Amino acid sequence: MFTLFISTYNENLTIGLLKDNDLISNEEKKTIHSHSEYLVPLIKEILEDNNLRPQDLNQILVVNGPGSFTGIRLGITVAKTLAYTLNIPIKTITSIEALACSIEDANKIITIDDNKGKYIGLFKDNKLVDLFYLNKEASNEYLKDKNNVYKTDVLNIQKIYEYSKNIDPTNAHAVKAVYIKQIEALNDK
């Protein structure tokens, strides 16, 4: 079974290919504001390097946010299109959950910075129990006395795949981005 992993939630474009339970190919490219130029060619390259065609894929695993608004939408659109046209299952995982897979601590707080604040995920017994966004001042105050706070950008695709075994596939049409932050234009009213 071949699984294609797609992550476009931040400035790093990460594509992985797993065969059964093993990661056989992994490409990461820093593509600030240019994921659209590299995503499909990188997928094509990984498949060709492994002598595969898109029809050989059995499953898609995509990071659906939070993170870069445009990056997430791009990754999800490509993942949904592949899953739908190939008639294969698609699974989603949040960026916070994907990052948490690399941290052994079962009770943890994972943060992702953006230019105005932090996305914060709270985990209890390795399960995401809350996901929210706070501006810089509020996030600094909230996190100042907390233990087990991790800021990482390491995606361990192998561990993400293992975690995803407990995630049910979604209908490709039902896959949606996880947006946490309020739209700034709405806050200006």
Angle between helices 69-86 and 35-49 (to 10 degrees): 40
Q: Does 132 reside within a domain? A: no
Predicted TM-score (pTM) of the model is 0.94
How large is the average pLDDT for residues 48-72?
A: 96
pLDDT digit string (tens) for 97-109?
999 998 999 999 9
Residue 185 has pLDDT above 80, yes or no: no
Instruction: Please state the domain count of the chain.
Output: 1
Asked if the peptide bond before residue 66 counts as cis, ω within 30 degrees of 0, the response is: yes
pLDDT digit string (tens) for 136-183?
999 999 999 999 999 999 999 999 999 999 999 999 999 999 988 765
Amino acid at 127: K
Q: Does 120 reside within a domain? A: no
pLDDT of residue 188: 46
Residue 116: pLDDT band with limits 50, 70, 90 = very high
| Nearest C-alpha neighbor of 78 from the set 163, 4, 1 | 4
Tracing tokens 């006395």 back to the chain, one arrives at 145
How large is the average pLDDT for residues 19-46?
A: 94
Q: Does 21 reside within a domain? A: yes
Residue 70: pLDDT band with limits 50, 70, 90 = very high
Q: Does 90 reside within a domain? A: yes
* DSSP symbols for 94-116: -HHHHHHTT---SSEEEEEEETT
Q: Does 109 reside within a domain? A: no
Q: Cβ contacts of residue 46 below 8 Å, gap of 6+? A: 4, 15, 17, 25, 27
| DSSP 8-state class, residue 123 | E
Q: Does 18 reside within a domain? A: yes
Q: What CATH number is given to the structural domain containing 73?
A: 3.30.420.40
Beta partners for residue 150, in sequence order: 110
Distance CA 6, CA 39 (A): 9
Residue 189 has pLDDT above 80, yes or no: no
| Nearest C-alpha neighbor of 62 from the set 136, 1, 9, 103 | 9
Q: Does 178 reside within a domain? A: yes
Q: Does 136 reside within a domain? A: no
Mean pLDDT of the chain: 94
Distance CA 9, CA 13 (A): 8
Domain of 58 in residue numbering reads as: 2-98+154-187
Residues in the chain: 189
